[in-house]
Amino acid sequence: MENTDTLTVRGAKRRRLTKEERVEHVSAWKRSGSSAQIYAQEHGVSAASLYAWSRQQGGAEGKGTARTGGIRPAAFFGSGA
């Protein structure tokens, strides 16, 4: 039976991060002020993972995740003529 705590990425075995570790990475990334790409390179994770973990934790970070906060398009009214 295969160990599910590790996975193979490009021939290298890596340990899966726990939820707590993922939460800590997202928190540390946001505190750092670094871009996801820079933080990811420095800590051995992928920028895509940081964005995904942030979304899973309810964050608005990431590609295509801009939140409108309930803003609706303006209504246009005729001039009444």
Tens of pLDDT, residues 6-46:
655 566 677 889 999 999 999 999 999 999 999 999 999 99
Does 51 fall in a domain?
yes
* Residue 62: DSSP 8-state: S
Please report, in angstroms and rounded to a whole number, the separation of the first and last CA atoms in the chain.
77
Q: Is residue 69 part of a domain?
A: no
What would the pLDDT profile of 40-75 be if each residue is shown by its tens digit? 999 999 999 999 999 999 875 544 444 555 666 677
Structure tokens that stand for 23 in this block: 């939460």
Q: Structural domain of residue 41, as residue ranges?
A: 18-62
The pair of structure tokens assigned to 25 is: 């990475």
Q: How far apart are CA 60 and CA 70, in angstroms?
A: 14
Answer whether residue 27 is part of any domain. yes
Structural domain count, the chain = 1
